[in-house]
């Protein structure tokens, strides 16, 4: 396995995660404003997640192959680790954003439930 290809794919994964993170941040803002565009962001995020999942499965195999490859230089391993660390950091940030989204959804559901009970007291 060519380590340069692995690095390119890792960089692609990082770029996708960065886009995913920006969409997530926008989604929080739209949801707080009760903007309908938030739903289209869910769809776009789902598409990105499909691509990220496919890349991740491939990368796992490739990374396991190059770990023991003596042709991979320490410099290349350092680059691979650096990009991988950035990916993990972005993924953790996305998890934090998703927790905000879930909290916002919970608030919206509670508001809707309260309004429904005001309209139909027996519900």
pLDDT tens track for 81-106: 999 999 999 989 999 988 888 888 88
Region of 66 please: left (phi>0), alpha (psi -120 to 50) or beta: alpha
Task: Tell me the pLDDT band of 123, cut-offs 50, 70 and 90.
Answer: low
More confident residue, 20 or 122: 20
**Res 1 pLDDT > 80:** no
Residue 13 CB-density burial (10 A; 0-12 exposed, 13-18 middle, 19+ buried)? buried
Give the number of other CB atoms < 10 A from CB of residue 1.
14
pLDDT in tens, 109-120: 888 888 888 888
Q: pTM of the entire structure?
A: 0.70
């Amino acid at each position: 396995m060519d380590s340069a290809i692995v690095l390119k794919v890792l960089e692609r994964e990082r770029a996708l995660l960065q886009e995913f993170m920006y969409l997530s941040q926008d989604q929080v803002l739209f949801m707080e404003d009760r903007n309908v565009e938030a739903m289209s962001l869910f769809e776009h995020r789902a598409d990105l997640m499909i691509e990220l999942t496919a890349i991740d499965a491939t990368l796992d195999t490739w990374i396991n192959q190059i770990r023991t490859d003596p042709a991979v230089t320490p410099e290349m391993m350092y680059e691979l680790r650096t990009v991988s660390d950035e990916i993990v950091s972005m993924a953790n940030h996305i998890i934090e954003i998703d927790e905000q989204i879930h909290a916002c959804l919970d608030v919206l559901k509670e508001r809707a439930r309260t309004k429904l009970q005001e309209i139909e007291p027996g519900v």
